[in-house]
């Protein structure tokens, strides 16, 4: 088998393929042009998209040519969901989101050399299509019976039904593959396993219209060992946009991953080689408290998405918050999102009297680090209460305005690991 496909198989990245041996042969023969589509159904990409991005980067590293498609047209329609009809977003919103996704995607690929990536938008070839011509030349190749077999469509028909708008999504995505085959010689479409029906419909369309054989390859949907949804935290989806998910929260998502998930995440998401990944897996299993695999993923992926400076800043902040660095060196723009990710209290100016904040017992209760004032007093008495990493021994201690980091923040800690924050102002 082709070395790239062997690596993908070892990583668990191959869920479905139309003909893996034929694809292997084509990849061996020389550079192959392939594409993955990203619909602008939100203003940012997320961790599910990042898996596709990393898979595309693996192909490009092996000399194959990526087409990163932003669905300016398909984003106006929406792929059918199992749960119900999508709310159609206004055209100007979809256009803005498409532009944002394009900017995000451009940061992940090389646009130079023989394997140069290309950005494409399906709105460019869809906007001027004549409806009658489209139905005659493209629609006639689709069997409604086969379209009804799609899991999402079947589920909707068994419930509230489905609009023709969403039902037509498969035809539009197949048309994309045909257009990219004609314009760029694209021979492979990839995506998540939930896209298998759409992708193979495009393969079939190209066979019927052009008499050519092209390929489909899907990756598995990522799951978590504890049964919760991957890419979600208590505060919601983990986005790639730093304004929607801070670099600190992004870093912490990987750092806090369950030990049981680390082998899977390393193989799916890391660009490290097999030997290094297996070494990290072994280290994580032997000394889980050191979180070697989690830290490697956090540093690699935060650097990829947010850059080395942001990674260094959030790593330093994480260490400082738990007493392993100097808190005063952490800038406010890093402290703010970090403290908003943990139990915290927001104080107004009315809470500060004589330039002093409420006493430490009150702050421990307000942040939720202690359930009651009695529990907070016990924490202080047992030496387990910290303000800005300094142990507090007096339950009546009131931090001063001068104690506020960056003029607005206090870091509270109960014991070694339970972190909280106080933020003065909105």
Angstrom distance (rounded) from CA 194 to CA 81: 10
Residues 276 and 368 in one domain: no
- CATH number of the domain where residue 304 is located: 1.10.240.10
Report the chain's terminal Cα–Cα distance, integer Å: 58
- In this prediction, residue 27 has a pLDDT band, given cuts at 50, 70 and 90, of very high
Which residues, at least 6 apart from 317, have a Cβ–Cβ distance to it below 8 Å? 248, 325, 330, 334, 335, 338
Q: Are residues 108 and 202 in the same domain?
A: yes
Q: For 19, left (φ over 0), alpha (ψ -120 to 50), or beta?
A: beta
- Domain-terminating residue out of 197, 219, 241: 219
Q: What percent of the chain has pLDDT over 70?
A: 100
What crossing angle do the helices spanning 262-269 and 47-61 adopt, rounded to 10°? 50
Query: Quick check: is 333 in a domain?
Result: no
Torsion angle in degrees (nearest 10) through CA of 193, 195, 201, 204: -40
Q: Report the pLDDT value the prediction gives residue 161, as an integer from 0 to 100.
A: 85
State mean pLDDT over 405-411. 94
Are residues 398 and 368 part of one domain? yes
pLDDT (tens digit per residue) in 115-169:
999 999 999 999 999 999 999 999 999 988 888 887 788 888 888 888 888 889 9
Q: Which of 190, 219, 248 is the last residue of a domain?
A: 219
Q: How many domains does the chain have?
A: 3
Is 337 contained in some domain?
no
Q: What token pair was written down for 215?
A: 């390929």
Q: Is the pLDDT of residue 319 over 80?
A: yes
pLDDT (mean) for 12-28:
97
Q: What integer pLDDT is reported at residue 152 of this predicted model?
A: 81
The residue count for the chain: 426
> pLDDT digits over 354-397, tens only?
899 999 999 999 999 999 999 999 999 999 999 999 999 999 99
Q: Please tell me whether residues 231 and 265 are part of one structural domain.
A: yes
pLDDT at 425: 85
Domain assignment present for 367: yes
The confidence score (pLDDT) of residue 51 equals: 98
Does the pLDDT at position 234 exceed 80?
no
184 and 232 inside one domain: no
Distance, CA of 129 to CA of 8 (rounded, Å) = 38
Same domain, residue pair 86 and 177 = yes
Q: What CA–CA distance (Å, rounded) separates 296 from 251?
A: 10
pLDDT band at 70 (very low <50, low <70, confident <90, very high): very high
- pLDDT for 31 beyond 90: yes
Residue 332 forms part of a structural domain: no
**Is residue 28 included in any domain, yes or no?**
yes
**Residue 208 falls inside a structural domain:** yes
Residue numbers of the domain that contains 354: 342-426
Looking at 325, 357, 387, the residue that finishes a domain is 325
Q: Tell me: do 18 and 143 sit in the same domain.
A: yes
| pLDDT at residue 78 in the model | 87
* Residue-averaged pLDDT of the chain: 94
Strand segments, DSSP code E, in 24-149 are 33-38, 65-70, 118-121
């Amino acid at each position: 088998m082709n070395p790239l496909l062997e690596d993908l198989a070892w990583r668990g990245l191959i869920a479905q393929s139309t003909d893996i041996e034929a694809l292997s042969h084509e990849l061996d023969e020389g550079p192959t042009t392939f594409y993955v589509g990203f619909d602008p159904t939100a203003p940012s990409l997320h961790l599910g998209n990042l898996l596709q991005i990393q898979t595309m980067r693996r192909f490009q590293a092996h000399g194959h040519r990526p087409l990163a498609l932003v669905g300016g047209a398909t984003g106006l329609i929406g792929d059918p969901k199992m749960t119900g009809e999508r709310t159609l977003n206004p055209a100007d919103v979809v256009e803005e989101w498409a532009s944002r996704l394009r900017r995000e995607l451009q940061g992940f690929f090389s646009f130079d050399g023989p394997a140069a990536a290309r950005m494409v938008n399906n709105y460019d070839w869809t906007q001027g299509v004549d409806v009658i011509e489209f139905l005659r030349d493209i629609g006639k190749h689709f069997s409604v019976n086969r379209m009804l077999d799609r899991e999402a469509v079947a589920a909707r028909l068994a419930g509230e039904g489905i609009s023709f708008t969403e039902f037509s999504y498969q035809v539009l995505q197949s048309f994309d593959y045909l257009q990219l085959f004609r314009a760029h010689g694209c021979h492979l479409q990839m995506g998540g396993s939930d896209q298998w029906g759409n992708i193979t419909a495009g393969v079939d369309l190209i066979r019927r219209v052009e008499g050519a054989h092209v390929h489909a390859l899907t990756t598995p949907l990522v799951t978590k060992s504890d049964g919760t949804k991957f890419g979600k935290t208590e505060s919601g989806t983990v986005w790639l946009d730093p304004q929607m998910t801070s670099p600190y929260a992004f870093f912490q998502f990987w750092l806090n991953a369950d030990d049981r998930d680390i082998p899977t995440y390393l193989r799916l998401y890391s660009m490290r080689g097999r030997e290094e990944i297996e070494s990290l897996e072994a280290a994580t299993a032997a000394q889980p408290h050191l979180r070697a695999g989690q830290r490697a993923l956090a540093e690699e992926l935060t650097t990829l998405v947010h850059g080395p400076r942001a990674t260094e800043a959030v790593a330093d902040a994480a260490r400082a918050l738990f007493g392993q660095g100097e808190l005063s060196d952490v800038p406010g723009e890093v402290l703010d999102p970090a403290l908003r990710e943990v139990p915290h209290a927001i104080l107004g100016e009315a809470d500060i009297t004589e330039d002093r904040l409420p006493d430490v017992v009150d702050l421990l209760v307000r942040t939720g680090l202690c359930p009651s004032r009695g529990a907070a007093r016990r924490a202080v008495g047992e030496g387990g209460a910290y303000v800005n990493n300094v142990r507090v021994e007096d339950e009546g201690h009131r931090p001063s305005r001068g104690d506020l980091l960056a003029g607005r923040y206090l870091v509270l800690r109960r014991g070694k690991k339970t972190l909280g924050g106080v933020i003065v102002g909105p």
